[in-house]
């Protein structure tokens, strides 16, 4: 079945450091890929998305490129801020095989120190 695997956290960085959070997926079809972010005490919210191979999603300085050849969708940011401290979830949906139901990874906690 379809699944998502993320790098384990927590990830601790200093402000202005470069961020990479790895995400790989397994899917039988052609999924859409997402990153959601959860700030402390809140629900998840969509950060960015990509619908087909080689698409790049971007938002708030974060980027992720849909790599079909490596089945990956790694999240990157060139210079993190303390306000980026949150839990990040990679997710996929495969509309034609699973009706579009979202499948989430286990989440990666990011802590940015001043």
In contact, 62 and 75? CB cutoff 8 Å: yes
Contact residue for another protein among 27, 64, 77, 93 (CB under 8 A) = 93
Task: Considering the complex, state which of residue 43 and residue 114 has its C-beta at the smaller distance from another protein.
Answer: 43
**Percent of the chain as helix, strand, coil, to the nearest 5:** 5, 50, 45
**Under the criterion CB under 8 A, does residue 108 sit at the interface with another protein?**
no
Rounded to a whole number of angstroms, the minimum distance from the CB of residue 15 to another protein is 27
Radius of gyration in angstroms for the set of CA atoms belonging to the chain, rounded to a whole number: 14
**Under the criterion CB under 8 A, does residue 32 sit at the interface with another protein?**
yes
Task: Considering the complex, state which of residue 45 and residue 81 has its C-beta at the smaller distance from another protein.
Answer: 45
Helix (H, G, I), strand (E, B) or coil at 47: strand
Q: Is the peptide bond before 10 cis (omega within 30 degrees of 0)?
A: yes
**Under the criterion CB under 8 A, does residue 95 sit at the interface with another protein?**
yes
Q: Which residue is associated with the tokens 């402000």?
A: 15
Q: Which residue is associated with the tokens 């200093």?
A: 14
The 48-87 contact track toward another protein, x by CB under 8 A, reads -x-x------------------------------------
Rounded to a whole number of angstroms, the minimum distance from the CB of residue 16 to another protein is 29
Span near another protein by CB under 8 A; candidates 10-18, 21-29, 42-50, 75-83:
42-50
Helix (H, G, I), strand (E, B) or coil at 83: helix
**Under the criterion CB under 8 A, does residue 94 sit at the interface with another protein?**
yes
The 10 Å Cβ neighbour count of residue 113 is 11
């Amino acid at each position: 079945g379809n699944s998502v695997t993320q790098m384990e956290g927590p990830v601790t960085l200093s402000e202005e450091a470069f961020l990479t959070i790895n995400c790989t997926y397994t899917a039988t079809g052609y999924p859409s890929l997402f990153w959601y972010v959860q700030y402390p005490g809140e629900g998840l919210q969509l950060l960015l998305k990509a619908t087909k191979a080689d698409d790049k999603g971007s938002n708030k300085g974060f980027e992720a490129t849909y790599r079909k050849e490596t089945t990956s969708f790694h999240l990157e940011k060139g210079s993190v801020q303390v306000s980026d401290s949150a839990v990040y979830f990679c997710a996929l949906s495969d509309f034609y095989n699973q009706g579009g139901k979202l499948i989430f990874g286990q989440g990666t906690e990011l802590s940015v120190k001043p």
